[in-house]
Amino acid sequence: MIANKKLLVLPGDGIGPEVMHEVRRVIDWMEQRRLVRFEIGEGLVGGAAIDAEGVPCPDRTLEAAREADAVLFGSVGGPKWDKLPFEQRPELGILRLRKELGLFANLRPAIVLDPLVDASSLKPDVVRGLDIMIVRESTGGIYFGEPRGIHTDANGKRIGIDTEVYSEDEIARAARVAFDLARKRRNKVTSTEKANVMQSGRLWRAVVSEVHKAEFPDVELEHMYADNAAMQLCSRPKQFDVILASNLFGDVLSDLAAALTGSLGMLPSATLGAVQPDGRRHALYEPIHGSAPDIAGKGIANPSAQILSFAMLLRWSFGMEEQARMVEQAVERVLAGGMRTADIMQPGMARISCSVMGESVVRELNKIA
Ligand code: ATP
Ligand code: MG
């Protein structure tokens, strides 16, 4: 029996609560089988928190996240809160969590599962078996650097300013996450930047090389300009194993990689913090999709990305590789059996609802275990 772990569940808005409901089925099953044992807390975030408490990330939620061994996050936002001023938007809920917990490394796998090869925007041969991991630095760079803002110049014209700032420590810690991951995969890191035109890019390349030489000489390292990486992702994606990128380039490259797989409703993500002196590490797991207001409440969302985020949580926060694999296999088997939620519907397949997808995953788990 595995010891009690503290898990904080934050369903959020839109389809968040719907897909989270299906994860709870999976967790219940694992607890019944005594494969895991969690102390589960639930909290408010995003629009749900604004409605109940007036802020997108109440202190109580933040404290619970700090105490938890891992956070499973749904999604936030929706038309109901669109008119709020910028500083009060539901999206600030996740931003506050990331910042306060120091979640600096965003891991986004882009995987093409065999049954979904035809869903990709690329030819089947180009993407069959695709398995890339993108490590996006997520607390620094151009989204936070100063000066920033919209100002007026001497001629009364507006100028918009953003500044990319990276310290060597910020680059090094993101690089370590990427190298560490590569060792558990196919041992290759492609570090992306624009060292040809950006000073922060020059430093990025230098620091990644230094960390590589000093700590990870056994891992293959390749440097690639970010624009070239975008092109290579579209033409020969299988050359990549782990891609390391800044906050901005990682944002773009990971969306591109997700599009290659053709299934927004399938892709999970993890965001990790630094390892603390006591050995603990904050981590938050969430699907890459948003709250999908257009389909919320209809019971047709694909819960796979949320369920696979839970698999990542098992692997990354609790080292439960075997249990994580079980969950991933169960999802894949449901798809292989010809069942599809609306977002990944293909000709000749059976269209199923969000809850039937969740039930089917549990049915497959029963067969695997
Ligand atoms: P955000 O800004 O929060 O990332 P977004 O507006 O970019 O949100 P999503 O909320 O991810 O986008 O939705 C984009 C499209 O994908 C919508 O049409 C939505 O219905 C669909 N979609 C997203 N997630 C799922 C899912 N799990 N299952 C089915 N369809 C989904
Ligand atoms: Mg989006």
User: 3-state SS of the chain: helix, strand, coil percent to 5?
Assistant: 45, 20, 30
Mean pLDDT of 39-65: 97
Q: At what angle do helices 321-336 and 304-318 cross, to 10 degrees?
A: 160
pTM > 0.90: yes or no = yes
Distance 84 CA to ligand 2 centre (A): 19
CA atoms within 13 A on the CB side of 320: 21
Closest CA to 30 of 350, 326, 337, 339: 326
Q: What is the pLDDT of residues 281-308, one digit of tens each?
A: 999 999 999 999 999 999 999 999 999 9
Q: Among 91, 255, 289, which is best to mutate for testing ligand 1, by the most ligand atoms less than 8 A from CB?
A: 289
Nearest residue (by CA) to ligand 1, atom 25, is 265
Strands 281-287 and 70-75, how do they pair? parallel
Run of H or E residues at 134 = strand 131-137
Q: Which residues are catalytic?
A: 143, 194, 227, 251, 255
Helix (H, G, I), strand (E, B) or coil at 337: coil
Strands 350-351 and 339-340, how do they pair? parallel
Distance 255 CA to ligand 2 centre (A): 8
Share of the chain above pLDDT 70, in %: 99
Closest CA to 56 of 94, 82, 99: 94
233 confidence band (pLDDT: 50, 70, 90): very high
Average pLDDT of every residue of the chain: 95
- Return the residue matching tokens 């199923």: 352
CA atoms within 13 A on the CB side of 363: 11
| pLDDT at position 349 over 60 | yes
26-to-31, 205, 287, 310 alpha-carbon distances in Å: 9, 42, 16, 9
| pLDDT at position 3 over 80 | no
158 beta partners: 152
Q: Which pLDDT does position 116 carry in this prediction? A: 92
Distance 267 CA to ligand 2 centre (A): 13
| pLDDT at position 2 over 70 | no
Backbone angles phi, psi at 240, to 5 degrees: -90, 150
Q: Which pLDDT does position 211 carry in this prediction? A: 98
| pLDDT at position 106 over 70 | yes
306 beta partners: none
Share of the chain above pLDDT 90, in %: 90
Closest CA to 334 of 307, 316, 309: 307
Mean pLDDT of 68-77: 97
Ligand of minimum distance to the alpha carbon of 19: 1
Question: What is the C-alpha radius of gyration for the chain, rounded to an integer number of angstroms?
Answer: 21
Q: What CA–CA distance (Å, rounded) separates 95 from 138?
A: 10
Q: What CA–CA distance (Å, rounded) separates 310 from 287?
A: 9
Q: At what angle do helices 59-67 and 92-100 cross, to 10 degrees?
A: 40
Closest CA to 327 of 35, 38, 21: 35
Which ligand 1 atom is the nearest neighbour of the CA of 306? 27
222 beta partners: 190
Predicted complex ipTM: 0.95
Q: What is the pLDDT of residues 245-283, one digit of tens each?
A: 999 999 999 999 988 887 789 999 999 999 888 888 999
86 confidence band (pLDDT: 50, 70, 90): confident
| pLDDT at position 1 over 80 | no
Q: Among 295, 353, 355, which is best to mutate for testing ligand 1, by the most ligand atoms less than 8 A from CB?
A: 295
Q: What amino acid occupies position 331?
A: V
